[in-house]
Amino acid sequence: MEREIEDKLRNYDSYIDSRIKELKETIDSGRFRNSTNRITRQGIEALEEARDKLYKFFPELKPKE
């Protein structure tokens, strides 16, 4: 059971990272208006905050630098 939960948390961490990358690419593409980019940046900030909280409660998930 514990291994299953850890796998799900790692998958969630990977999902957050991929969404952040995708949203940053959306902003960098320059295809959208400033208001859309602002909303996208807010989404990135929310995902980064979620990732930070995940690492706070499960520090073993944080990648080694």
pLDDT tens for the chain, 65 residues: list them: 688 888 898 899 999 999 999 999 988 988 888 888 899 999 999 999 999 999 999 888 888 77
- In this prediction, residue 33 carries a pLDDT of 85
Neighbours of 41 (CB within 10 A): 13
pLDDT for position 19: 96
- Stated length of the chain: 65
Cα angle 2, 48, 57 (rounded to 5 degrees) comes to 30
- Distance of alpha carbon 23 from alpha carbon 59, whole angstroms: 25
Rounded CA separation 37/15 (Å): 21
- Tell me the residue type at 26: T
pLDDT at 1: 64
